[in-house]
Amino acid sequence: MYDSISILKDLVKKNDKKIVLLVMDGLGGLPYKGKTALEVARTENLDRLASKNECGLIDPVFPGITPGSGPAHLALFGYDPVKYQIGRGILEALGVDVEVKKGDLTARGNFCIIEKGVVKDRRAGRIDTEVNKRIVKHLNKEISTIEGVEISFTSGKEHRFVVRLRGKDICDEVTDTDPQKVGEKILKSIPTSDKKSAERTADTINKLTDLIIEALRSIDEKPNAAVLRGISGYPDLPQFPEIYKVKAKSIADYPMYRGLTQLIGMDVDRTPTCVEEEFSVLKKSYKDYDYFYIHIKKVDSYGEDGNFDEKVKRIEETDRYIPEIMKLAPDVLAVTGDHSTPATYKSHSWHPVPLLIVSKWTRISGVSGFGESECAKGNLGRIPSLYLTSLLLAHAERLDKFGA
Amino acid sequence: MYDSISILKDLVKKNDKKIVLLVMDGLGGLPYKGKTALEVARTENLDRLASKNECGLIDPVFPGITPGSGPAHLALFGYDPVKYQIGRGILEALGVDVEVKKGDLTARGNFCIIEKGVVKDRRAGRIDTEVNKRIVKHLNKEISTIEGVEISFTSGKEHRFVVRLRGKDICDEVTDTDPQKVGEKILKSIPTSDKKSAERTADTINKLTDLIIEALRSIDEKPNAAVLRGISGYPDLPQFPEIYKVKAKSIADYPMYRGLTQLIGMDVDRTPTCVEEEFSVLKKSYKDYDYFYIHIKKVDSYGEDGNFDEKVKRIEETDRYIPEIMKLAPDVLAVTGDHSTPATYKSHSWHPVPLLIVSKWTRISGVSGFGESECAKGNLGRIPSLYLTSLLLAHAERLDKFGA
């Protein structure tokens, strides 16, 4: 696999061509009664485009690897998902819409139950989210700074929360406090480097653990402690608009995808709450940007739920917006997913993802429609997701020749 | 991407099997009225071979990357085009048939017009090639050595020329004198390393610039100076016959392809001036070599010109020689291109290139003919050009097993 960013940065050039990347999260599927959700869905607009343009399949990492949303998206944006890894704490924070900036640390937390320091239940019986919210409110009141480091808690679902540390001289070179199993003591965080900031951070984390236990004593809730894992800093990622010389707009209605595209420097619109509003943001901002990322979440959600029929409906809903995109006449339109989420598998999977590229410079796949089986016959073949960005830039005539 | 050379060198073995690689430059295309030039061309011989052997598509670098001829060819010969890069000056020199050897430096030059040291026209109004030849003749008479470094000029087209420096203690670690835009002074070449030879070279380049200006004063031509760029040395490339244990013959009628294959140690035939003569060289030398590279230039040239019909004709012309190759009964025949040059795009492009492999050990693609769409359905799928050489050696039974 080539380090595409280091090669592309010397080849990209600006022009006025526009690229739209439409990502249906978890698009790829598996057959149920012989056909996948995408194949069952009536998608006349995508089918027509597929028959007259290029189709293929993309692999987020490599065959057999089931990616999380972070690596799957990084690959779509041309970032090698093995080279560029985003810490779990940061991804969790982005998922619950925590504001993070350079220098911040974040960690995933579980409210748990301990007895004499030993973890008895890592999830405190999966407490209600409402209980979680009461606890977090209390903690934010009780614990605001530790020796100059600002502490801030945000609720997740059930027993999950995110803690953000903000201050000088802290870094993510420390270990977790979560022993990851019951019957063991909450771990002491220890520095994994000899940096002063690592020592200071481990010390802060350990004090934080004690302060949480103390604060929980004063309210009448089930959890009496918390364990932390995935302590991670704001990643230093190459910035998408700089490396690719595009003005990039991110349009998503879920926090994680907004956060992730913010990490790579896209201009994130935080207004849409549904697919319809996403497409109206596209129309409104169309003249001001060169590259648009539009994220459709629900296709994945219903895949995860094992709800085949609703996955079909969400794909059909998205298809109905295709004419609106085509009315804008982008120079390049790509429609794909970040990964597969077959409703029969009820989870992200490793299966390659259908891809459609529409541009005046495509060959013609001559397939009968947009679906897994047809894309497997498409002329793009099967390529790593990592190379999607170079393909889109090429179709937008935004790449110079490599070598003479 | 694996470093194929380092792996192959331990696996290759000699035998008496013969490989012919027929490269139609810029073979791949885009549909015009629904079909590409290769698809429109009546290529009954290639079509018959395609239907009974293996087809696929190859990527010179990676999807989206448009390669120059240098990297595209290196990939065909199994050299990673990102790892092995050939300097622009050397490629330009090879293109105008300058004889280069180890230790030489070459640079691309433009005859230009300056006023008070500032570049007013980087191309001196695109002077006629005839004017260029008169100037080069004059310069070769006036400037032959600078402090022991031999200087030699060769005309290119219009305002372009190549200068070769030959001598001891020179190296390519120096900057260009070409400011690449008008309104700026000719740059001083400066060493980019602290090597003595870099300092000496920069000094020689700067003296050369002054001597050219002085020499041009004494003739009545429009240009009054020259700018240099892409100063590069003879690259130290692994030698094809050594790493692959083959006696390799290069048959091309254009200087650049002769020069490029000479750089990797092939035995270059410099006699052919057209396709017909290329194939008679093949026949004459057939018994003396194991590996033959035959290059058909005009397919690319007409692609670059946007002349779809002539591209079709040149492909058809090549097809008529296929029976002559088959009469020689090579153990392996591969027909492909170095990159795509769609006549509709009038330039090299990023689209993958059709590949046909004929051998007794192929699977059968069962396609209807040799073209982009059929190759996309072929059983070879889409692979990097880099792996073509290992495939051909394998089909020639010239590779041992990897590991036990």
pLDDT digits (tens, 9 = 90+) for A212-262: 999 999 999 999 999 999 999 999 999 999 999 999 999 999 989 999 999
Please state, in angstroms and rounded to a whole number, the distance separating the CA atoms of residues A66 and A57: 15
Please state, in angstroms and rounded to a whole number, the distance separating the CA atoms of residues A159 and A175: 21
Nearest C-alpha neighbor of B192 from the set B209, B166, B174, B179: B174
Nearest C-alpha neighbor of A179 from the set A147, A227, A139: A227
- For chain B positions 97-156, those within 8 Å of chain A (CB to CB) are none
Tell me how close the Cα of B147 comes to any Cα of chain A, in angstroms: 31
Any A CB within 8 A of B237 CB: no
Any B CB within 8 A of A196 CB: no
* Half-sphere exposure at residue A383, Cβ-oriented, CA atoms within 13 angstroms: 33
Please state, in angstroms and rounded to a whole number, the distance separating the CA atoms of residues B178 and B164: 16
Check pLDDT > 90 for residue A196: yes
Please state, in angstroms and rounded to a whole number, the distance separating the CA atoms of residues A23 and A28: 11
- Can you give the pLDDT at residue A308? 98
Question: For A229, which DSSP code?
Answer: E
| A168 confidence band (pLDDT: 50, 70, 90) | very high
User: Which value does ipTM take for this structure?
Assistant: 0.91
Residues of chain A contacting residue B342, judged by C-beta atoms under 8 Å apart: 361
Any B CB within 8 A of A366 CB: yes
Please state, in angstroms and rounded to a whole number, the distance separating the CA atoms of residues A113 and A246: 50
Beta carbons of A343 and A32 less than 8 angstroms apart: yes
Report the chain A residue with the minimal C-alpha distance to residue B348. A401
Please state, in angstroms and rounded to a whole number, the distance separating the CA atoms of residues A59 and A44: 25
Domain-wise residue ranges, chain B? 4-84+236-395, 91-232
For chain B, helix (H) and strand (E) counts, in that order, are 15, 14
Nearest C-alpha neighbor of A272 from the set A248, A251, A299, A294: A251
Any A CB within 8 A of B32 CB: no
Mean pLDDT of chain A: 96
Residues of chain A contacting residue B67, judged by C-beta atoms under 8 Å apart: 401-403
Nearest C-alpha neighbor of A96 from the set A109, A86, A84: A109
- For chain B positions 316-345, those within 8 Å of chain A (CB to CB) are 342, 345
pLDDT of chain B along its 404 residues, tens only?
A: 788 999 999 999 999 999 999 999 999 999 999 999 999 999 999 999 999 999 999 999 999 999 999 999 999 999 999 999 998 899 889 988 899 999 999 999 999 999 998 999 999 988 999 999 999 999 999 999 999 999 999 999 899 999 999 999 999 999 999 998 899 999 999 999 999 999 999 999 999 999 999 999 999 999 999 999 999 999 999 999 999 999 999 999 998 999 999 999 999 999 999 999 999 999 999 999 999 999 999 999 999 999 999 999 999 999 999 999 999 999 999 999 999 999 999 999 999 999 999 999 999 988 999 999 999 999 999 999 999 999 999 999 999 999 98
- Can you give the pLDDT at residue B168? 93
CB contact under 8 A, A381 and B377: no
Residues of chain B contacting residue A401, judged by C-beta atoms under 8 Å apart: 66-68, 348
Main-chain phi, psi angles of A164, to 5 degrees: -115, 135
Q: How far is CA A41 from the centre of its chain?
A: 25
Structure tokens at B113: 């017009």
- Can you give the pLDDT at residue B132? 96
Main-chain phi, psi angles of B346, to 5 degrees: 55, 35
Check pLDDT > 90 for residue A189: yes
For chain A, helix (H) and strand (E) counts, in that order, are 15, 14
- The domain covering B4-84+236-395 belongs, at the CATH homologous superfamily level, to Alkaline Phosphatase, subunit A (3.40.720.10)
Report the chain B residue with the minimal C-alpha distance to residue A10. B65
CB contact under 8 A, A403 and B348: no
Beta carbons of A318 and A275 less than 8 angstroms apart: yes
Report the chain B residue with the minimal C-alpha distance to residue A12. B65
| A137 confidence band (pLDDT: 50, 70, 90) | very high
The sign of the torsion formed by the CA atoms of A369, A371, A374, A380 equals positive
Structure tokens at B352: 């993958």
Beta carbons of A317 and A275 less than 8 angstroms apart: yes
For residues A307-331, give the mean pLDDT. Answer: 98
CA distances from B203 to B85, B93, B116, B190, B228 (A): 26, 22, 21, 8, 14
Q: Any idea which residue has 């934080």 for tokens?
A: A208
CB contact under 8 A, A403 and B64: no
Structure tokens at B304: 């670059």
Residues of chain A contacting residue B31, judged by C-beta atoms under 8 Å apart: 363-364
Please state, in angstroms and rounded to a whole number, the distance separating the CA atoms of residues B84 and B72: 11
The sign of the torsion formed by the CA atoms of A378, A383, A388, A392 equals negative
Beta carbons of A73 and A59 less than 8 angstroms apart: no
- A355, A399, A402: which to substitute to probe chain B, counting the most B Cβ within 10 Å? A402
Per residue in A300-311, is it b (16+ CB within 10 Å) or e — as a string? Answer: bbbbbebbbebb
Q: Which of A363, A378, A390 sits opposite B351 (nearest CB)?
A: A363
Any A CB within 8 A of B71 CB: yes
| A95 confidence band (pLDDT: 50, 70, 90) | confident
pTM exceeds 0.90 for this model: yes
Beta carbons of B37 and B313 less than 8 angstroms apart: no
For residues A297-322, give the mean pLDDT. Answer: 97
Any A CB within 8 A of B82 CB: yes
Residues of chain B contacting residue A402, judged by C-beta atoms under 8 Å apart: 61, 65-68, 71, 81
Pairs of residues, one from chain A and one from chain B, whose beta carbons lie less than 8 Å apart = 97
Main-chain phi, psi angles of A96, to 5 degrees: -110, 20
CB contact under 8 A, A363 and B70: no
Instruction: Give the least confident one: A97-101, A338-342, B292-296.
Output: A97-101
- Can you give the pLDDT at residue A1? 82
Nearest C-alpha neighbor of B207 from the set B165, B243, B267: B165
CA distances from B292 to A209, B252, B254 (A): 71, 10, 16
Please state, in angstroms and rounded to a whole number, the distance separating the CA atoms of residues A236 and A196: 20
